[in-house]
Chains A and B, each alone.
Chain A
Amino acid sequence: QKEVEQNSGPLSVPEGAIASLNCTYSDRGSQSFFWYRQYSGKSPELIMFIYSNGDKEDGRFTAQLNKASQYVSLLIRDSQPSDSATYLCAVNIYSGGGADGLTFGKGTHLIIQP
């Protein structure tokens, strides 16, 4: 049984600070890792993906992967109130898309306080 664990929160962060979201996964064979953002009542939207150990930066977002520790994180710099949402970590055993789908964590509810 593949499992993806996230702290449900809420995680409250002051505007302008760094928000740090964490995720652990159980399947050591996992190859691809995704972060989705979901606003209340909306569908998940992909914000970052990472396949290799280390850091990957995209604007204010940085994804970090440590396969040895089975740990993936998302950092949001200069947090804005519009970043307030639920962040879903998702894992797949394949390095690309397709095949048998993603396993999702339950999500972390992030609140950015103005």
Chain B
Amino acid sequence: NAGVTQTPKFQVLKTGQSMTLQCAQDMNHNSMYWYRQDPGMGLRLIYYSASEGTTDKGEVPNGYNVSRLNKREFSLRLESAAPSQTSVYFCASSDVGVYGYTFGSGTRLTVV
């Protein structure tokens, strides 16, 4: 049971570079989420996809784009990375009737 798999686990980017964070779940969940976690700020929702084919902005969407590639995969793209995007990024999945959200192991991103 892999659950939610995120890649990469660590990444260092230079300001202005772009990258895509990958997330895949094998629990057949309809809903997927991207959060960022910063010291003193807690977990904040960036984007979510309530079902395949839909995406919506969360609390802190600026500087990010997402793609729900299929039911399993939900990617997060940074088009032009900024130092303010240094954070730990978590992907999660859930579904109606599922009690709780399952998180991936996280991606630690540093932008220099």
Contact = CB atoms under 8 A, between A and B. Distances in A.
B42 A104 contact: yes
A44 B45 contact: no
Contacts of B33: 101
Interface residues of B, number: 30
Contacts of B106: 42-43
B100 A49 contact: yes
A102 B35 CA distance: 10
B56 A98 contact: no
B42 A44 contact: no
Interface residues of A, number: 23
Residue with the greatest number of chain A CB neighbours at <10 A, chosen from B30, B92, B94, B104: B94
Contacts of B2: none
A42 B96 CA distance: 26
Nearest to A8: B40
Contact of B31 (A43, A98, A106): A98
Interface in B66-94: 90, 92, 94
B103 A106 contact: no
Nearest to B31: A98
A25 interface: no
